[in-house]
Chain A
C-alpha cells in the first residue's frame, strides 16, 4: 500500500532530512519525490510505500505531525487511494 506525504510551509534547511529520517526509521520507502517553491512556499510531495512499515499508520501520522510542529511546516500523510479516486477515471 502506498501513501502520499505532502509537506508545505516556509522554506528552511533540513526539511527533507527531518521528514525522510522518520520515514527511514520506520521502514517506509520513498518511491518518488517532487518539490518546488509555490507562492513563496516550499511544497514537497512524496510517494511512499508502507508495505514494510514497522509501526501503525496512526503512529506514523502522529510522528510526522510532531516533526511538522517542530520545523513549522504542515505535513500530511494520506492513502494514495484518495488521489487516484478523485483524479482518475
Chain B
C-alpha cells in the first residue's frame, strides 16, 4: 500500500503531536436583527443564532468521529454589537451580552465573539455605549468575548479609544477580581482587526461578510516541532522548507474539515486560519519550536528572527494548501497558553519588551500577558498604543490582551484554568505615560495609507 507511511504519519500527528482543528467558528450576521426596541432586537438575535447554529456542535462532533481528528472548539462570531444595538434607545448594552451568552449556552458552543465596536477613526453613540458596557458584560457572562478595533493602517489610531480602553481593562479586572481578573482574558484591543478571524477572544463577523459562514482555525505547534526535531542539522532554508511542508498538511486537514462542516450545515465555507495556536499542554507550544531551532530559551537574542521565519514559512505552506486562507494565519504567542512561554518568563529569559519586539513579526500581539494589578490605566493604554503603532505602520494585525491581575504583583501568578492556562505576572515599565495618553485625539493615518 503506497499510503502506508502517510497514514502512519497522520495518525502520529494526531495521537502524539496534538494535531487538532482548534475551532470551527460560525459567523452570523445580525444586521437584520436591528430594532429601535432593544428587547425586540435581542429576541431576534437569540432566535437567529439558535436557529442557524442549531446543528453546529452536532455536525462538528460527527465529523470529528468520521475523520478521527479532534475539533476542540465549536464557536460563534456575530456582527459587532455596537452596530446592532446602536439603533435602540438603550443606554447600556449588557443585556445584549446576556442574550448572546444565553444563545451560546442553548446551542452548546463554548464562546461567542462579537460584543465589539470598530472605532479606528471615531465613535458613534452605539460604540461609546458598547465600550462602557464591556466590564459589566464580561463580568456577568460566561461565554461572551469582546474586542475593539481602535486603529488601522488606512485611518490611523483613535487615541481617545486607546485611553478609554485602558480604563475599561482596569474596570474589568476589578469586577472579576475574585477569579484573578479573568474577565480581561475575554477582551482584545486590536489594530487592523480581521473580519473573518475564527479565534477568540477577537472573533467577530465583519460587515462585509455573508449572511452566515463557517470559518476554521487549525493548530499544530507539536507537528512543526516534531518535524524540526527530525532534522537537527538543517540550515535555515531547510528548516523553512520543513515548516512549510508541515503547515501544508495541517492546512489541508483544516480545509477538509471546514468544507465538510460547511456543506453539512448548508452555509458557505468562509476562511481557514492556519495559526500555530499553543495550549498549556506539553507538546503544544510555539516557544518550544523556537527553542528547537537552537535557542536556549524563548526570549533570548535570536528569538525575533526565529519567530519571523516560522511565521513566514507557516503562511507560505498554508497558502499553497488552501485558496481560502484568511484570519491571522501565523504563529500565536499567548504567554499563559504556552508552557514554553510560561517557563521562559519564569526563568527570566522572556521579558515584556522582547515580547513586544516579537509581535512585530508574528500574527497577533501582546496576548494573555498578566501584569501587576496596580498598573495604571494610562500605562495599559500606552502599551496598547505601542502595539497599535506596530500594526498600523507595518500593515498587520496587532492585538493586546492584558490581564492586570487585581491584588497581585510580579513574582506571583494568575490561574485561569483550562486552555487559558496560568500566567506568571510580568513586570512592566514603571515610568509614567499619563501625559502622553491624556492628550487624546487621533494619530493620523500613516503615509502609506494614501494609495488612491
Task: State the A residues within 8 Å of B (CB).
Answer: 4, 6, 8, 32-34, 36, 38, 43, 45, 47, 57-58, 61, 74, 76-79, 81-83, 85-87
Which of B8, B65, B255 is the one whose CB lies under 8 Å from A6?
Answer: B8
Docked-complex contact B249 and A6, CB < 8 angstroms: no
Docked CA distance A4–B34 (Å): 49
Interface of B: prevailing SS: helix
Docked-complex contact B65 and A61, CB < 8 angstroms: yes
Name A57's closest neighbour in chain B (CB-CB): B66
Those of B252-272 within 8 Å (CB) of chain A = 252-253, 255-256, 260
Return A75 CB to nearest CB of chain B, in Å: 11
Residues of chain A within 8 A (CB-CB) of B66 are 57, 78-79
Q: What 0/1 readout, one digit per residue, does chain B (1-45) give for beta carbons within 8 Å of chain A?
A: 101101111110001000000000000000000000000000000
Those of B63-82 within 8 Å (CB) of chain A = 65-69
Q: In the complex, how many residue pairs between chain A and chain B have their CB atoms under 8 Å apart?
A: 63
Docked-complex contact B67 and A78, CB < 8 angstroms: yes
- Number of B residues near A (Cβ < 8 Å) is 22
Task: State the B residues within 8 Å of A (CB).
Answer: 1, 3-4, 6-11, 15, 62, 65-69, 249, 252-253, 255-256, 260
Docked-complex contact B11 and A76, CB < 8 angstroms: yes
Residues of chain B within 8 A (CB-CB) of A8 are 11
Which of A36, A57, A61, A83 is the one whose CB lies under 8 Å from B7?
Answer: A83
Docked-complex contact A87 and B1, CB < 8 angstroms: no
Return A77 CB to nearest CB of chain B, in Å: 7
Which of A36, A61, A77, A87 is the one whose CB lies under 8 Å from B249?
Answer: A87
Which of B7, B15, B260 is the one whose CB lies under 8 Å from A4?
Answer: B7
Docked-complex contact A45 and B4, CB < 8 angstroms: yes
Which of A32, A47, A57 is the one whose CB lies under 8 Å from B65?
Answer: A57
Return B211 CB to nearest CB of chain A, in Å: 27
